[in-house]
Each structure stands twice: as C-alpha cells, then as structure tokens.
C-alpha cells in the first residue's frame, strides 16, 4: 500500500477500505507517515467526505491507535461529557466537580486543547499554576479512585492518533467535517473506559457546524457510533450564536468557572452547566430523572460541595488551589481596550467565530502547532444578543499583552457585533433538541 495512492483515491472521491484507513492511521501514529501526507489526506477527506463505513473505520482505527482503558474494577458508573467546541465554553471545569461531588459517579475526562477558533479545556486548566494535564495512566487511575475525577490530555497510550491529528487539523483548515469531528471525539471518549457519555453539540455562528441540520447529523452520527460500542450516549444541541458566559480566554475562563461553582457567574453558563450535569447524574444512575439531576446539581453548588471538589481536583493534579480564593494568582493581561458601539440600537447578532479568532490573534490560541498560548489574554463581553446599546457604549473589552496584532483583534471584535435599529426576533434556545435521550 502507498500513502500517496490513498491520498489520490480520496481526492478522487473513492471509498477507502477499513484496512486502508487503518494503515494510514497506524503509520501516522508511529511516525512513518509525515505530517504533509496526513494533511493532504485530511483535506481530501474534508472535501470529499467520508461515508458511514469509512467514518466507523476511522473512529475504530483512531480508538485502537492506543489502549482502551478498563475501569470496571473502579466502583461507580463512569460518565463523561464532551463538547464539539465553542467560544467561552468552560463547562467541563464546572460540571466535572459537580457530578463527582454527588458521589457514586466518576468522571475520567480526556479533553483537548484549543481547536481553530474554539478554546480547549486543557489550555484553560494549564492557566492554573502547576496544574498538570499530563498524568500517566497510573496517575489517572489513582485520581479517579481518590478524587473521583481527572481531567487529562491524550497520552501516548490513549488515542494517540487523535492527539497528532487534532493538532494538525487545527492548523490546516480541516476541522469542520462531521466525520473527522465524530472520529476525533468518539475515539478518545470510547478509549476512556466510560459507561455513558453526554455530548454537547454546539450549533450557530461560533460552532464548527453552523446549521441545525448539520449539527443534528453530527449528533446522530456520534450517538450511533457510541451505541454500536455498547455505550449509553445522549447528545444535546446547544446554542453557540454567541459566546457562553462573559469571558473567552484561558485564565479568565477559569475565574468565571470558579464564580459559577460559588453560586454566582453568568446565568446562561450556569444554566447549561446544570443541564449537562443533570444528564450526567441521570446516566450515572445517581438520580431518577433529569429534573431531579438539575436540582441536585444546584444544591451541590449552593452547599459549596462542588467548589470543594474542584479544590480537590486542582490539588490532585498539582495545581495551586489558592487560586480558588485568590484570583490574583491567575495571570492577568497588562493592558485593556474597550470596543464600543458605533451606533444606537440593539445587538441583533454576533459573528461568534470572529470573537474566537480574536482571542487566538491576541495569543490565547494557536495558529501553528508549535505556538505557545498566553493564558492571560482574552475578551470580556458586556452585551448579549437582544441587549439595547447606546453609541460609544462598551461592547467588549480586549485584554492583551502585546499590541503587535491588537488592531487586527479589535477589528474582528468590532465587526463581530451586528447592531440593528430594532430588537431581534426570538433567539435559539440555549438547550435545544436532545438526541438519543
């Protein structure tokens, strides 16, 4: 088999056989196939699409590029959540401690770094001084037993193919494909040794898949893939027409997560976290209904138990837990700049992807694989869709350390807000369809 032939056949829209896909994934994981050939194949797959059989073969090959963990000897149901990616999406940091604080459910969470214009849980967690997402498998298991949860990145053992392909897709314009997203998410989630999975499938201008139709197809594909592998999987379609919460940027999002765990924080972020945690508690057989799960999640925040669990998780993974009471220990940017409304009116819409790109341009994400991320930079949003604004009023504040690309980021933010004379019609519901529930 020659890699160039697999690239050419996919380029010409041929269907690849499972053994051909496995050859490609195994070769790339071992380092025998270089990035440039994988990039070419990914672009061909992106443009030509993969059918159901090819997507299943890709997921399977990526899953078996490493070990499939078995935590059946660890007491309790193992449940995880994964998002398809959004702007300001910090829910993992909040719901993992809530669910584990309930007792009886464990959360072995393998997360990703920022991808394209979206942020990544690992980058956010690493803004906590000392926090390590690079646990060995033995440490992962130990954390799961001791604390009930660990949030880690892919290791050399767990879905290593996705680790490499994710970083490559991030910088080669090959993210927004249903099949590639499904294989990426499901390969790492199926390797985690979970019993059940809640998927947060984002839809809207800040999501990879902008339309309900595309997001629904992705949700169905992932639910079906999980079920075939014997897992209980539910997918919630959730709104990403505007950022979630009030911040986007790694350290600022950690702070906002702590606010929610304290019982404060923005209403939209809190609501989505309660719903996702409720589904996790339900699939974890800790509660009898999703409604009961939502009340339980709210109570775990109100009692302070969720925040205490977050403190335990941070300590367990080597982080400085003092950040929880003293946010000044998190890095903050040296400068700020307000972007203001150019006219009176209402926020009619936001080009949410542009806001995510602005964070990357400020240094909060990567444009090349080897780029490092500045944890301190980001955006604070002052206005949401439907809000009234007056000319000159601040829409968003940029937090930055270098002005090298400040003007580019400012333009992106300024043009991301659509100001209309009339209030916009009804927004998409924060939580829409549930698939597989």
Distance CA(166)–CA(175), nearest Å, equals: 8
188 catalytic? Reply is yes
Is 180 or 283 the residue whose CB approaches ligand URA more closely?
180
The Cα-based distances of 124 to 30, 253, 321 in angstroms read: 29, 7, 15
The residue from 60, 80, 123, 162 that is catalytic is 162
Is 223 or 258 the residue whose CB approaches ligand URA more closely?
223
Least Cα distance to 373 among 35, 96, 115, 168 occurs for 115
The residue from 177, 184, 205, 257 that is catalytic is 184
In this structure, the number of other CB atoms found within 10 A of the CB of residue 248 comes to 33
Q: Which helix (H) or strand (E) holds 161?
A: helix 160-170
Shortest distance, position 175 Cβ to ligand URA, whole Å: 6
Shortest distance, position 157 Cβ to ligand URA, whole Å: 17
Distance CA(146)–CA(158), nearest Å, equals: 21
Using CB under 6 A, list all residues that contact ligand URA.
Answer: 84-85, 112, 115, 166, 175, 180-181, 184-185
**Could you tell me the strand order of the sheet in which 77-83 lies?**
149-152, 105-110, 77-83, 196-203, 232-239, 431-435
Distance CA(101)–CA(88), nearest Å, equals: 24
Is 210 or 294 the residue whose CB approaches ligand URA more closely?
210
Q: What angle do CA 48, 366, 373 make, to 5 degrees?
A: 155
Q: Which residue's CB comes closest to ligand URA?
A: 184
Shortest distance, position 381 Cβ to ligand URA, whole Å: 22
Is 76 or 112 the residue whose CB approaches ligand URA more closely?
112
Distance CA(158)–CA(367), nearest Å, equals: 25
Is 33 or 175 the residue whose CB approaches ligand URA more closely?
175
Is 193 or 265 the residue whose CB approaches ligand URA more closely?
193
Q: Which helix (H) or strand (E) holds 237?
A: strand 232-239
Shortest distance, position 112 Cβ to ligand URA, whole Å: 4
Is 199 or 341 the residue whose CB approaches ligand URA more closely?
199
The Cα-based distances of 273 to 107, 115, 281, 343 in angstroms read: 15, 21, 12, 34
The residue from 169, 286, 305, 399 that is catalytic is 169
Shortest distance, position 183 Cβ to ligand URA, whole Å: 8
Shortest distance, position 25 Cβ to ligand URA, whole Å: 15
82 catalytic? Reply is yes
Q: What is the helix, strand, coil percentage profile of the chain, to 5?
A: 45, 15, 40
**Burial (CB count <10 Å: 0-12, 13-18, 19+), residue 190:** buried
The residue from 113, 188, 286, 383 that is catalytic is 188
Maximal C-alpha separation, the chain:
64
The residue from 82, 163, 189, 399 that is catalytic is 82
Shortest distance, position 178 Cβ to ligand URA, whole Å: 10
162 catalytic? Reply is yes
The catalytic residue positions are 82, 162, 169, 184, 188
């Amino acid at each position: 088999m020659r890699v160039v032939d697999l690239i050419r056949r996919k380029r010409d829209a041929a269907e690849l056989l499972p053994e051909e896909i496995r050859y490609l994934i195994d070769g790339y994981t071992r380092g025998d196939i270089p990035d440039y050939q994988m990039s070419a194949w990914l672009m061909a797959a992106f443009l030509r699409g993969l059918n159901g059989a090819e997507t299943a073969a890709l997921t399977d090959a990526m899953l078996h590029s490493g070990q499939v963990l078995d935590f059946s000897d660890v007491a309790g149901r193992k449940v995880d959540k994964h998002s398809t990616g959004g702007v300001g999406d910090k829910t993992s940091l909040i719901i993992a401690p809530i669910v584990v604080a309930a007792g009886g459910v464990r959360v072995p969470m393998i997360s990703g770094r920022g991808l394209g214009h979206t942020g990544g849980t690992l980058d956010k967690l690493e803004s906590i001084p000392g926090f390590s997402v690079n646990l060995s498998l033995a440490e992962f298991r130990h954390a799961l037993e001791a604390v009930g949860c660990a949030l880690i990145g892919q290791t050399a053992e767990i879905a290593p193919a996705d680790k490499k392909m994710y970083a490559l897709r991030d910088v080669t314009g090959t993210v927004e494909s249903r099949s590639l997203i499904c294989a990426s998410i499901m390969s790492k989630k199926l390797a985690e040794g979970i019993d059940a999975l809640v998927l947060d499938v984002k839809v809207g201008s800040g999501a990879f898949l902008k339309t309900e139709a595309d997001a629904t197809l992705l949700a169905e594909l992932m639910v079906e893939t999980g079920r075939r592998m014997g897992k209980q999987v539910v997918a919630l379609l959730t709104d990403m027409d505007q950022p979630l919460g009030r911040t986007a940027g790694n350290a600022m999002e950690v702070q906002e997560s702590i606010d929610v765990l304290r019982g404060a924080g923005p209403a939209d972020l809190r609501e989505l976290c309660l719903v996702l945690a409720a589904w996790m508690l339900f699939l974890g057989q800790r509660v009898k209904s999703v409604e009961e799960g939502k009340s339980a999640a709210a109570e775990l925040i109100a009692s302070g138990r969720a925040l205490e669990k977050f403190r335990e998780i941070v300590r367990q993974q080597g982080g400085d837990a003092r950040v929880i009471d003293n946010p000044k220990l998190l890095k903050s940017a040296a400068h700020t700049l307000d972007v203001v409304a150019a006219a009176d009116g209402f926020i009619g819409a936001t080009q949410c992807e542009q806001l995510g790109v602005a964070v990357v341009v400020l240094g909060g994400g990567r444009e090349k694989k080897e780029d490092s991320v500045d944890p301190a930079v980001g955006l604070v949003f002052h206005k949401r869709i439907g809000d009234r604004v007056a000319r000159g009023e601040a829409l968003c504040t940029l937090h930055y350390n270098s002005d090298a690309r400040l003007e580019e980021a400012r333009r992106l933010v300024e043009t991301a807000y659509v100001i209309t004379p009339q209030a916009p019609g009804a927004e998409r519901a924060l939580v829409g369809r549930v698939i597989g529930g």
